[in-house]
């Protein structure tokens, strides 16, 4: 059972990877396999366009790792060094976004089941949603509490520490620091 499930996941992912690589409608997203022998682990580059208020110009590398039970269960997306300073990214690089949370009721009651993972999600929808988080960070339910606090304080006009910290991160992503 598990081997056939994994083979089905690999077959689906192979098709989805080809679609992303062939698409002209996904500016800022580049994907490939970490190893040609493993369809379940992708290397991703997210190139944030210049009109993004905080992260514009950044190039952030990440790994998208799919379980053998994909598409029934979600993959994980983990940013590689330098890890973006972002309210929705844990300090270890793991992205926290509702669509990557398992398809079950949220034990804390914060997310509706409809906001969580469902098999209609694809690597493309995950990556487009991730790009949108760079444009509109969610400071309501943060993975990085410090980043969320600094973003809120900046929105309130208290200081520009969030912007400074993020710009340093963007420079590091370009190999400038």
* CA pseudo-torsion sign 82, 88, 90, 95: negative
CA distance 32 to 59: 15
Report d(CA 17, CA 66) in Å as an integer: 12
Q: Which helix (H) or strand (E) holds 84?
A: none
- The angle formed by the CA atoms of residues 102, 33 and 177, to the nearest 5 degrees, is 90
Of 31, 52, 96, 169, the active-site residue reads 96
Comparing C-alpha atoms, which of 177, 176, 175, 162 is closest to residue 55? 162
The overall longest dimension of the chain from CA atoms, in Å, is 57
Residues in the chain: 177
CB atoms within 10 A of CB 66: 23
Known active-site residue 96? yes
Instruction: Enumerate the active-site residues.
Output: 96
């Amino acid at each position: 059972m598990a081997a056939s499930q994994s083979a089905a996941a690999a077959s689906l992912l192979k098709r989805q990877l080809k679609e992303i690589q062939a698409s002209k409608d996904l500016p800022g997203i580049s994907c490939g396999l970490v190893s040609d022998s493993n369809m379940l682990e992708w290397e991703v580059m997210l190139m944030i366009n210049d009109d993004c208020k905080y992260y514009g110009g950044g190039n952030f590398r990440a790994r998208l790792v799919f379980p053998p039970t994909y598409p029934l269960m979600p993959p994980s997306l983990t940013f590689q060094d330098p890890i973006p300073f972002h309210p929705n990214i844990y300090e270890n690089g793991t992205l926290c976004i509702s669509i990557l949370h398992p398809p079950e009721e949220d034990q804390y009651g914060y997310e509706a089941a409809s906001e969580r993972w469902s098999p209609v999600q694809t690597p493309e929808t995950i990556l487009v949603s991730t790009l949108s988080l760079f444009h509109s960070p969610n400071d309501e339910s943060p993975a990085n509490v410090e980043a969320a606090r600094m973003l809120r304080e900046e929105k309130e006009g208290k200081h520009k520490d969030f912007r400074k910290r993020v710009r340093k991160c963007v420079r590091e992503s370009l190999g400038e620091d």
